[in-house]
Structure 1
Amino acid sequence: MGSLYRRGTRAMNDLIVAHVIESVTEIELKMFLRLLHRSGITSKSDILFVFSSKSSSFNHAIIEENKSFLKLINGYYKYNKEEKKKNYNSSSDPTRFMNSSFDPTQFVISSKKEKESGEPIWGKKIRVYEDFGNSTELTLTRLSYGSVVGFDMGELDPENSLSGFLDHVPMSLRRWACYPMVLGRVRRNYKHVLLVDVKEHLVLGDSLSQLKNRSPESVILTTLPTRKKNLDKKPVNSGFVFGGVRGVRRLANAMLTEIVRAITQHKKRNLVSESTLFNQLVSNEFVLKNVNLIVSGESTHELSSLTGLMNSNSKLGSSSFSISKFPIVRRGNSNLDISYVFRKYLCSTPLDSIAYSDC
């Protein structure tokens, strides 16, 4: 059942569930995964892709990106090890990594912490060792990264729960029938979960860090930018949801019930909007009384606004662009070539060119 694209090094606390709708292209999926890896979030998270149908067409792309990323972090560590030996008794900082926008230290784990962690639930543990130091002082560290797996909706929702209500069930609706099954199975394995739409979003940072002191019932939602000034509340973004596993699972169950209720009451069933239903659900405090819902006051950044800042930064002569303030970016109505937009960010050093053939 499912496909294992990469085995992780240990049991992770967080899970990223990324759904891939029918119109996602291979290039879009590769860019999503590449940026996800570069964000550092996969140092503590497993990734689970949910596909609308058989995912064999994407297998090669996912495996290629995983191999390239492992080649990248191994390359950085070899460089770092050489720099540490050269500068062991000097005051220079060997963690600059050639002024790169990527910091691989996020993927380091101590041998003690690695021993304390359990086996990953997806496949057998892979052990990766790196030796830092010299003959007089030895520190054994290990690289830490999560597993990457994929499932088709038919595997997670074999009965196609909504088929009795609709002639054609779009993935935007059916995915909510998949989440209860997935999260029910792994509820004891993970603390936090992120649900994200691959087509609409790019993960550039670690949003899950916001959950550190939150309860398991907490769910954080972002809002969407709107040009309508007379709205009392901004619409929430149903394509990017994160929180404790318990809270997200309860939200998914409530959303599935809301979908069934709306379909049975709507005269034109095929016109039911997932986004509209989600916003109606979020506004219903009674239905979600067992969920600690937190709606962020800041709207999800659009890709067009980020590219404007990147261009301005380039004019100032900076060699790299920090995107730490943009943990999530939404494509919106932009027709920009994403691979072109992020080429400078992703190909900032010679090591990047070695790892990625398109740099």
Structure 2
Amino acid sequence: MLFKSSLSTVATTASAAEIWGMGFFLIFFPEEEEDEINNPNTKKLKPSITFNTLLRRTNSVHLVSKAQSTISICALLVFFSLLLFTLSTFEPTATPSFPRRQLSSIKLYKPKPRPIVRETVHAFQGMGSLYTRGSRAMNSLIICHVMDSVSISELGLFLRLLHRSSLTSRSDVLFVFPSGKSNGYDYVIRQENDSVLELIARFKDLNGSSELEASFDVTQFVKSSEKMKGSAEAIWGRRIRSGNFSGENETELTQLSYGSVVGFEVDELDPENSLAGFMDHVPLSLRRWACYTLLLGRLRRKFKHVMLVDVKDVLLLGDPLGRVKNQSPESVYLSTISTATAKHGRKNHQKDVITPSIISGGARGIRRLANSMVTEIVRVAMQHKKKNSVTDSVVLNQLVGNDLLTSNIKVVVSPESIPEASSLSSVVLSNHSVIRRGNSNVEEFRVALMKHICSFKLDSSVYTSDC
């Protein structure tokens, strides 16, 4: 017994020393293995760790296959989308043709004609709008300013009379509009331009016919090819490289002669509103003078004669430029109107004052007058406490009375005042080249004018809507 205990003690000591030297190695068995050890006769089962590993591998295979199928479907969708888009962009090279027998039985749909939308073309140096490009370069320019209160019918009447005065056969017409108002007048301007050009073209085609008589002198718009030969092209719009500027066949004996019609807004010609710092509100009647300085400076040496016209107040029936064509380039021709005045309770009496509604002269003189007017407007505005009371009529009369300011301008004042339309009969009306609209009804004046126009066969064939 003593020997056994000593032997066990030695074995324990040796095993302890062996364990201390070699370390620990632990093995854990699951419950199934313990049952298997305890009961060796039970059926041997597969360890659970092998089943979990297989399950994880199966799930990963399924995920990879699903991802591949999703990518394949997306690729097919993209391919079919690109194919459909490519096919839809192709246009048929030929339209299907039907036999003549079938055409008679098929009801073809004819859409209603749409109004022609014209492309907006800049008139000059990226500014303005070109309504009609003239057949050639002109020596005279008519600048018409359109006040805010001018209606479409008033502008249409002014332009119709302007065309019938034959001024547009030898002059360009330039409109100055308030800011944002040019689009509202586009239609009536183009309509009047197209009507008069159609009338002139019919007159040219009916040469030698009994229907030549018109309500105005149409021959001014038709020139011989010899006179038109060598004419420069109009400065407005895009440059035409062809040598035929009138758009007519060069082999014809006669060609059409008409000027350009263009329009600008004040913000294009005076973007900084030069007079805004000297008065609270700058009306177009004053701001236009700042526009003239820029415009005539850029058009220097392009025109010999210039005329300034107020569309609201003046109607042109003839050629007022004829009186300045033989004058010097520095000359400025001013007109007067009669106004009623009263002093110290006396009865009203007539007084002639210079009107800014119509001014004509040489291009150099008009440009110098515009520069002097801008300086005088600033001076008068700084003197007045009520800056909005400044008018171009007052400034112009003060300027003309100051010989120092007009020393470089040759001023000529007409002794005859411009009559009003309401004070003239239809017979006397034709003897004047310029009349004032005054308080007369524009519609009544237009009706009387169209009654005269429609009495001529050639005119009535063009103005069918008014006749």
Query: Is TM (by shorter chain) over 0.5?
Result: yes
Does residue 411 of structure 2 align to residue 297 of structure 1?
Answer: no
Match of 1:331 among 431, 437, 440: 437
CA gap of 1:322–1:169, structure 2 versus 1, over 3 A, is: closer
CA distance in 2, matches of 1:49, 1:5: 10
TM-score of the aligned structures, taking structure 1 as reference length: 0.86
CA distance in 1, matches of 2:279, 2:404: 27
Superimposed CA distance per residue, residues 211-236 of structure 1 (whole angstroms, 9 cap, x where no aligned partner): 22100001101100234498896201
TM-score of the aligned structures, taking structure 2 as reference length: 0.67
Q: Give the SS at the match of 2:408.
A: coil
Read off the aligned partner of 1:348 and give its amino acid letter. S
Query: How far off its partner does 1:332 sit?
Result: 1.5
Tell me, which stretches of 5 or more residues in structure 1 are unaligned?
A: 84-93, 132-137, 314-320
CA distance in 2, matches of 1:347, 1:177: 42
Misfit runs of 4+, over 6 Å: 229-233
Does residue 365 of structure 2 align to residue 247 of structure 1?
Answer: yes
Does residue 256 of structure 2 align to residue 143 of structure 1?
Answer: yes
Q: Are 1:39 and 1:206, in contact at CA under 8 Å, matched by a contact in 2?
A: yes
Q: Which residue of 2 aligns with 1:153?
A: 266
With CA pairs under 8 Å and 6+ residues apart, which has the higher RCO, 1 or 2? 1
Superimposed CA distance per residue, residues 240-264 of structure 1 (whole angstroms, 9 cap, x where no aligned partner): 0000000011111111111000111
Read off the aligned partner of 1:327 and give its amino acid letter. S
CA distance in 2, matches of 1:322, 1:71: 26
Read off the aligned partner of 2:217 and give its amino acid letter. D
CA distance in 2, matches of 1:157, 1:327: 32
Does residue 376 of structure 2 align to residue 258 of structure 1?
Answer: yes
Q: Give the SS at the match of 2:136.
A: coil
Does residue 462 of structure 2 align to residue 343 of structure 1?
Answer: no
CA distance in 1, matches of 2:247, 2:203: 14
Q: Which residue of 2 aligns with 1:97?
A: 212
Q: Which residue of 1 aligns with 2:398?
A: 280
Read off the aligned partner of 1:330 and give its amino acid letter. R
Q: Are 1:17 and 1:49, in contact at CA under 8 Å, matched by a contact in 2?
A: yes
Q: Which residue of 1 aligns with 2:246?
A: 127
Tell me, which stretches of 5 or more residues in structure 2 are unaligned?
A: 1-126, 344-348
Query: How far off its partner does 1:351 sit?
Result: 2.0
Query: How far off its partner does 1:139 sit?
Result: 6.6
Q: Give the SS at the match of 1:342.
A: helix
Q: Give the SS at the match of 1:64.
A: helix
Q: Which residue of 1 aligns with 2:227?
A: 113
Query: Identity of aligned pairs, percent?
Result: 53
How do 1:150-299 residues align onto structure 2 when only pairs under 5 Å count?
150-228=263-341, 234-299=352-417
Q: Give the SS at the match of 1:105.
A: helix
CA distance in 2, matches of 1:268, 1:154: 25
Read off the aligned partner of 2:229 and give its amino acid letter. K
More displaced stretch, 143-152 vs 226-235:
226-235
Q: Which has the larger strand fraction?
A: 1
CA distance in 1, matches of 2:380, 2:466: 46
